[in-house]
């Protein structure tokens, strides 16, 4: 026998490797005082409550980036939840799987693996233990992954008429989705994953559109004391973009939050707005040129930062005459 294999290899623990097992539970909202509650007459809150009363399993706030989806979702969750600690936040992404959301195997200290409950079953159990308290699962960017695969068997049992029924997970363990669990989610309708969003999921969730709003833009800037003339210039550009045919370029009003003066507005264009439009218009350079011209009408170039991505003229090199040195 090879002497190199005659001795057993000692299994290494996570402590031996100098790492700790990562906590897989979803993130909680900050303390109650850090997230304000919405007034009962808030339009978005009223829509969410109406959708839940109609029997939908959850509600998706749907809109382009920068329209306040996440801002509203956190405050709606804070308003409808029975207690601040009854809220969990999960962010979906392209590599998110059933094993991250429902159940999955994780390393054990000392070697080997063990099955561990993840965000959804843990919140279901918390809600079952406190049946008089509304619990909220807030899913950010729900369309960034294969949602039906992530939910697995639970997709069917999220329906209101199936709440409270016990069902079996892939592991053989059982789970119950309680009636006092509400699911809120945000979604960008132009994410690639939206085209593959499971029809069954769409049927179970109400969708509330949150669109770019020039009045919201004006309100945000006025609240920051921005000069009215600058607000008018930003609003003119914002409305011009919204009139374009391609909805991919309809960015939200929150993109302009930091435009508090002339210099910051120009920096916002260079560092945030123009990169967004360049990506959105990568297949339509003419539209990108139209957007750039709209910006330059409101903010003519001053040289240096803030030129609005203006294209410098092409200067042809001088023609050399015979005998001239290159």
Tens digits of per-residue pLDDT, 195-229?
Answer: 555 676 778 899 999 999 999 999 999 999 999 99
| C-alpha torsion angle, residues 150, 154, 155, 158 (rounded to 10) | -130
> Does position 136 have pLDDT exceeding 60, yes or no?
yes
Q: In this structure, how many other beta carbons lie within 10 angstroms of the beta carbon of residue 14?
A: 15
Give, as one character, the DSSP assignment of residue 249: G
pLDDT in tens, 46-73: 999 999 999 898 999 999 999 999 999 9
Phi-psi region of 164 (alpha: psi -120 to 50; beta: other; left: phi over 0): left
The residues, any chain, with a CB within 8 Å of residue 225's CB and separated by 6 or more, are 260
User: What number is the average pLDDT over the span 267-276?
Assistant: 96
pLDDT in tens, 145-204: 888 889 999 988 998 899 999 999 999 999 999 999 999 999 988 765 555 556 767 788
Contact 13, 109 (CB under 8 A): yes
The predicted structure's pLDDT at residue 174: 95
Percent of the chain topping pLDDT 70: 79
Contact 248, 190 (CB under 8 A): yes
Q: Distance between CA atoms of 326 and 321, rounded to whole angstroms?
A: 10
Which of 146, 148, 210, 185 has the alpha carbon at shortest distance from 56? 185
Give, as one character, the DSSP assignment of residue 269: I
Residue 326 pLDDT class (50, 70, 90 cuts): very low
Is residue 216 exposed (0-12), middle (13-18) or buried (19+ Cβ within 10 Å)?
Answer: middle
Q: Distance between CA atoms of 123 and 135, rounded to whole angstroms?
A: 8
The predicted structure's pLDDT at residue 261: 97
Catalogue the E-assigned strands of 210-263: none
Q: Distance between CA atoms of 204 and 76, rounded to whole angstroms?
A: 19
CA 291 to chain centre: 25
Q: Distance between CA atoms of 118 and 122, rounded to whole angstroms?
A: 6
User: What number is the average pLDDT over the span 309-319?
Assistant: 42
Q: What share of the chain is helix, strand, coil (3-state, %, to 5)?
A: 40, 15, 45
The predicted structure's pLDDT at residue 197: 59
> Does position 318 have pLDDT exceeding 70, yes or no?
no
pLDDT, the chain, mean:
84
Residue 77 pLDDT class (50, 70, 90 cuts): very high
Contact 200, 186 (CB under 8 A): no
318 or 119: which carries more pLDDT confidence? 119
Compute the Cα dihedral for 80, 84, 87, 89 and give only its sign.
Answer: positive
> Does position 295 have pLDDT exceeding 80, yes or no?
yes
Pairing of strands 27-28, 87-91: antiparallel
Contact 59, 201 (CB under 8 A): no
Residue 13 pLDDT class (50, 70, 90 cuts): very low
The predicted structure's pLDDT at residue 309: 46
Q: Distance between CA atoms of 199 and 70, rounded to whole angstroms?
A: 23
The predicted structure's pLDDT at residue 145: 85
Token pair belonging to 215: 């009045």
The predicted structure's pLDDT at residue 6: 46
Scan for tokens 């109650």, then name that residue.
32
The predicted structure's pLDDT at residue 179: 95
The predicted structure's pLDDT at residue 275: 95
Phi-psi region of 244 (alpha: psi -120 to 50; beta: other; left: phi over 0): beta
CA 41 to chain centre: 25
């Amino acid at each position: 026998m090879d002497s190199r294999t005659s001795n057993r290899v000692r299994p290494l623990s996570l402590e031996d490797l100098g790492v700790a097992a990562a906590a897989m539970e979803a993130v909680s909202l900050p303390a109650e005082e850090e997230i304000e509650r919405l007034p009962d007459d808030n339009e978005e809150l009223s829509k969410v409550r109406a959708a839940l009363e109609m029997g939908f399993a959850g509600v998706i706030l749907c809109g382009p980036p920068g329209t306040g989806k996440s801002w509203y979702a956190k405050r709606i969750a804070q308003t409808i939840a029975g207690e601040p600690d009854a809220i969990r936040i999960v962010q979906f992404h392209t590599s998110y799987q059933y094993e991250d959301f429902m159940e999955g195997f994780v390393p054990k200290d000392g070697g080997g693996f063990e099955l561990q409950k993840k965000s959804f079953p843990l919140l279901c159990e918390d809600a079952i233990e406190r049946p008089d308290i509304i619990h909220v699962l807030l899913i950010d960017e729900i369309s960034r992954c294969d949602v039906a695969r992530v939910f697995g068997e639970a997709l069917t049992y999220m329906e209101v008429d199936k709440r409270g029924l016990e069902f079996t997970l892939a592991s053989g363990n059982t789970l119950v989705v309680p009636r006092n669990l509400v699911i809120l989610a945000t979604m960008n309708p132009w994410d690639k994953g939206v085209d593959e969003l499971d029809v069954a999921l769409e049927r179970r969730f109400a969708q509330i559109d949150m669109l770019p709003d020039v009045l919201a833009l004006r309100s945000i800037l006025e609240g920051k004391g921005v000069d009215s003339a600058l607000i008018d210039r930003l609003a003119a550009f914002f409305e011009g973009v919204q009139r374009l045919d391609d909805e991919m370029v309809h960015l939200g009003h929150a993109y302009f939050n930091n435009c508090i003066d002339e210099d910051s507005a120009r920096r916002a264009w260079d560092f945030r707005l123009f990169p967004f439009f360049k990506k959105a218009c990568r297949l339509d350079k003419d539209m990108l040129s139209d957007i750039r011209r709209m910006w330059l009408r409101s903010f003519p170039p001053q040289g240096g930062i803030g030129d609005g991505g203006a294209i410098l003229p092409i200067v042809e090199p001088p023609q050399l005459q015979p005998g001239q040195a290159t």
